[in-house]
């Protein structure tokens, strides 16, 4: 019923909001809060959903049974098979309500998964593959194979089905890109040799998800009939090839025609509608081709990636992504039944420890193969030993959940627990690698801007979009300077992105972000961030790419002025000096 759906959404979003607030207070990833909160309100916890659905279904069943009994007594002879008792009808209603509720939860989780995969796809760039190809195509396959092969064999012995074993192996081989990358950034290791290797392995896992999702329908065909395997593979390959050509065409059309059109329209409403329409349109095409909808969501993100509107699109869909990510993770937590741990504690904990140990060893071997020593390899292997967000999507494919409910719950417990333990594992790993720094001399690649090739008379970059950054942006835009805006927080430039400004979400002290912003075409760079250390790093990064553009930097403390100038700033505006001068001017007016 519609009112039940609204109630369920209300409960899920309210739970996600409360879990998010608590997670922020405790300084833990919100994903963990969502999963734990979902387990508490789901069918295996306080049964908030089931109780409401069960109550209505039970009342209807009791009333219907009573009416049937009255009619039987008045008009019919005694029936050797009497009608169900109210208790039996209520029990059946409970079972039906549970199934109906799980279907609703699955659909909500699927919708959240589509937005999650779209976000991963839009951050996927071919340049990252080329830049880290050595780590990616060596470390990634080693890590995944070392997890899939032994785990698929063990799962086959437990389930008696080799296809189920392979499905579990696929799911367990993936790690959490979101949690690992966020932790690397927080510890300042995302661009370090350790971070590059970890990100390369995670990137390979994300890429491998696409063929995995294509293989699963071949393992579990609709109707359960495999038919001619060769023909099935050829048919699926043909559909996949057609789909790839379609996505390549969409990407080319958007790059050549769409970008200029949307830049001229400068309408946030049209951009949002186009993005959501394209997402669900491509997913629908994938479904018609009997490909997983998840492939469609990931492909849509790839089609819109690596262009000058990518950051703007990412910022505009942020509300959708955050909302449906909360729904996705809360509903996943709600699907977990804690009773599995009570009924089968030893095998359930054994599966958890076995998975963590296997992934630690596989990760350590992969990191060792791509150049790390033993101790850092073990530490980084521990850091990626969790199951990832995409693992849940893999586990939802096929009949695994319905045919092996006990094993599914045990794997789900291992996945949820490994994610909860991830912050502690990553903190330990970062503490180990920070004591063993690696210095690699890698030549800086040539800048490749995502901006158009046309050369504006004046082109500038503003770094930092706080109150001061926005004032500078308004002045320069009014003076005819074509601007690109950089900030680490997409929310800061959402309003400016809606007005048609070119925006980049990223760290301005990294060469890749500066290249995407078109630093090699800029005549002026204004740094307005209120952090003198970060401003110094940004200036140095700019000077490594450009030595002939003008850099104007904001400085909070006078002691850093000389440091900013040595880094390469042409003009430094110190807040202490400016504030002192303004105070003196005001006092002169009073005297």
- CATH number of the domain encompassing residue 464: 3.40.50.720
Q: What is d(CA 516, CA 545) in angstroms, rounded to the nearest whole number? A: 12
Q: How many residues does the chain have?
A: 591
* 63 phi/psi in degrees, rounded to 5: -65, -45
Q: What is d(CA 541, CA 520) in angstroms, rounded to the nearest whole number? A: 12
Percent helix / strand / coil, the chain, rounded to 5: 75, 5, 20
- Co-location of 170 and 247 in the same domain: yes
Backbone angle region of 267, left / alpha / beta, with phi > 0 → left and psi within -120 to 50 → alpha: beta
Domain assignment of residue 447, yes or no? no
Q: What is the pLDDT of residue 555?
A: 92
- Co-location of 249 and 367 in the same domain: yes
Last residue of a domain, one of 383, 399, 434: 434
- Co-location of 428 and 552 in the same domain: no
CB 545 within 8 A of CB 517: no
Domain assignment of residue 233, yes or no? yes
Q: What is the pLDDT of residue 274?
A: 92
Last residue of a domain, one of 65, 97, 129: 97
- Co-location of 411 and 492 in the same domain: no
- Co-location of 159 and 286 in the same domain: yes
pTM across the whole model: 0.65
Domain assignment of residue 450, yes or no? no
Q: What is d(CA 177, CA 182) in angstroms, rounded to the nearest whole number? A: 8
Q: What is the pLDDT of residue 85?
A: 56
Neighbours of 339 (CB within 10 A): 11
- Co-location of 242 and 357 in the same domain: yes
CB 453 within 8 A of CB 426: no
Q: What is the pLDDT of residue 75?
A: 45
The 8-class DSSP code of residue 509 comes to T
Compute, in degrees rounded to 10, the torsion defined by CA atoms 264, 265, 268, 273.
-120
Close Cβ partners of 281 (under 8 Å, ≥ 6 residues apart): none
- Co-location of 11 and 116 in the same domain: no
Domain assignment of residue 443, yes or no? no
Last residue of a domain, one of 379, 399, 434: 434
Going from the C-alpha of 501 to that of each of 59, 427, 452, 470, 498, the distances in angstroms are 58, 38, 14, 12, 7
At what angle are helices 48-75 and 86-122 packed, to 10 degrees? 150
Residue listed under structure tokens 């050509």 = 245
Domain assignment of residue 194, yes or no? yes
Q: Which domain holds residue 231?
A: 98-434
Domain assignment of residue 68, yes or no? yes
Q: Look at the chain and report how many structural domains it folds into.
A: 3
Domain assignment of residue 359, yes or no? yes
CB 380 within 8 A of CB 367: yes
Q: What is d(CA 568, CA 550) in angstroms, rounded to the nearest whole number? A: 9
Domain assignment of residue 244, yes or no? yes
- Co-location of 415 and 282 in the same domain: yes
The pLDDT tens digits along the chain (591 residues) read 445 667 777 888 899 899 989 988 888 878 888 888 988 887 777 777 554 444 444 444 444 544 554 554 444 455 555 555 555 555 455 444 444 555 665 666 677 778 877 877 887 766 667 777 888 889 999 999 999 999 999 999 888 889 999 999 999 999 987 778 777 766 767 667 888 889 889 888 988 887 888 888 788 876 555 556 667 778 878 888 899 899 999 999 998 888 888 877 877 788 889 999 999 999 999 888 878 787 888 889 889 887 777 777 877 777 777 787 788 888 878 888 888 888 999 999 999 999 999 999 999 999 999 988 999 999 999 999 999 878 888 887 778 888 888 999 999 999 989 988 888 898 899 888 877 766 554 444 444 444 444 444 578 999 998 889 888 988 888 777 888 899 887 777 767 766 667 888 888 888 888 988 888 888 899 999 988 888 998 999 999 888 889 999 999 888 888 889 888 999 999 988 888 888 887 787 777
CB 326 within 8 A of CB 20: yes
- Co-location of 251 and 357 in the same domain: yes
The 8-class DSSP code of residue 308 comes to T
Q: Which CATH number characterizes residue 252's domain?
A: 1.20.1530.20
- Co-location of 345 and 259 in the same domain: yes
Q: What is the pLDDT of residue 474?
A: 84
Considering only CA atoms, which of 172, 92, 167, 208 is closest in space to residue 402? 167
What token pair was written down for 6?
């609204």
Render 27-94 in DSSP notation, one character per residue. Answer: T--HHHHHHHHHHHHSTTTT-HHHHHHHHHHHHHHHHHHHHHHHHHHHHSPPPSSPPPPHHHHHHHHH
- Co-location of 558 and 470 in the same domain: yes
- Co-location of 92 and 105 in the same domain: no
Using CB atoms within 10 Å of the CB of residue 555, give its burial: 0 to 12 exposed, 13 to 18 middle, 19+ buried: buried
């Amino acid at each position: 019923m519609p009112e039940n759906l609204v109630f369920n959404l209300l409960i899920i979003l309210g739970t996600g909001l409360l879990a998010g607030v608590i997670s922020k207070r405790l300084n833990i990833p919100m994903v963990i809060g969502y999963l734990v909160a979902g387990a508490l309100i789901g069918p295996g916890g306080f049964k908030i959903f089931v109780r409401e659905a069960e109550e209505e279904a039970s009342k209807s069943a009791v009333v219907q049974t009573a009416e049937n009994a009255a009619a039987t007594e008045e008009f019919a002879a005694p029936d050797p098979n009497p009608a169900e008792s109210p208790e039996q009808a209520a029990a059946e209603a409970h079972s039906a309500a549970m199934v109906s509720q799980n279907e609703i939860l699955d659909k909500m989780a699927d919708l959240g998964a589509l937005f999650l995969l779209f976000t991963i796809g839009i951050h996927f760039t071919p340049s990252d593959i080329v830049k880290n190809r050595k780590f990616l195509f060596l470390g990634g396959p080693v890590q995944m194979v070392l997890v899939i092969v032994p785990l698929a064999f063990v799962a086959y012995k437990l389930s008696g089905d080799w296809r189920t074993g392979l499905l579990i192996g696929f799911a367990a081989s993936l790690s959490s890109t979101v949690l690992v990358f966020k932790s690397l950034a927080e510890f300042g290791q995302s661009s370090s040799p350790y971070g590059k290797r970890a990100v390369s392995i995670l990137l390979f896992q994300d890429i491998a998800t696409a063929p995995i999702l294509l293989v699963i329908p071949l393992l579990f065909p609709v109707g359960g009939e495999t038919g001619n395997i060769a023909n099935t593979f050829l048919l699926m390959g043909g559909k996949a090839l057609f789909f790839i050509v379609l996505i390549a065409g969409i990407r080319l059309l958007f790059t050549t025609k769409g970008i200029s059109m949307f830049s001229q329209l400068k309408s946030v409403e049209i951009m949002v509608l186009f993005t959501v329409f394209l997402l669900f349109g491509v997913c629908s095409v994938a479904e018609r081709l009997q490909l997983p909808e998840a492939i469609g969501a990931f492909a849509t993100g790839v089609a819109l990636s690596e262009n000058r509107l990518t950051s703007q699109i990412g910022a505009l869909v942020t509300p959708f992504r955050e909302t449906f990510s909360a729904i996705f993770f809360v509903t996943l937590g709600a699907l977990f039944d804690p009773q599995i741990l009570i009924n089968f504690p030893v095998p359930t904990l054994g599966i958890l420890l076995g998975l963590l140990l296997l992934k630690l060893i596989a990760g350590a071997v992969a990191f060792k193969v791509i150049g790390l020593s033993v101790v850092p390899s073990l530490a980084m292997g521990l850091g990626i030993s969790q199951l990832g967000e995409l693992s849940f999507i893999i586990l939802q494919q096929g009949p695994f959940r319905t045919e092996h409910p006990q094993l599914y719950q045990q794997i789900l417990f291992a996945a949820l627990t490994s994610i909860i333990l991830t912050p502690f594992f990553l903190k330990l790993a970062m503490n180990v690698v920070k004591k063993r720094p690696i210095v690699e001399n890698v030549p800086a690649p040539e800048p490749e801007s995502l901006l158009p090739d046309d050369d504006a008379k004046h082109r500038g970059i503003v770094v930092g979009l706080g109150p001061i950054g926005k004032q500078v942006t308004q002045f320069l835009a009014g003076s005819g300077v074509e601007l690109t805006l950089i900030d680490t927080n997409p929310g800061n430039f959402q309003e400016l992105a809606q007005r048609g400004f070119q925006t980049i979400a990223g760290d301005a002290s990294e060469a890749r972000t500066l290249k995407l912003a078109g630093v090699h075409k800029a005549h002026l760079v204004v740094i307005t961030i209120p952090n003198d250390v970060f401003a110094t790093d940004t200036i140095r990064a700019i000077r490594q790419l450009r030595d002939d553009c003008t850099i104007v930097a904001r400085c909070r403390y006078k002691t850093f002025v000389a440091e900013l100038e040595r880094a390469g700033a042409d003009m430094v505006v110190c807040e202490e000096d400016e504030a002192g001068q303004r105070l003196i001017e005001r006092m002169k007016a009073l005297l």
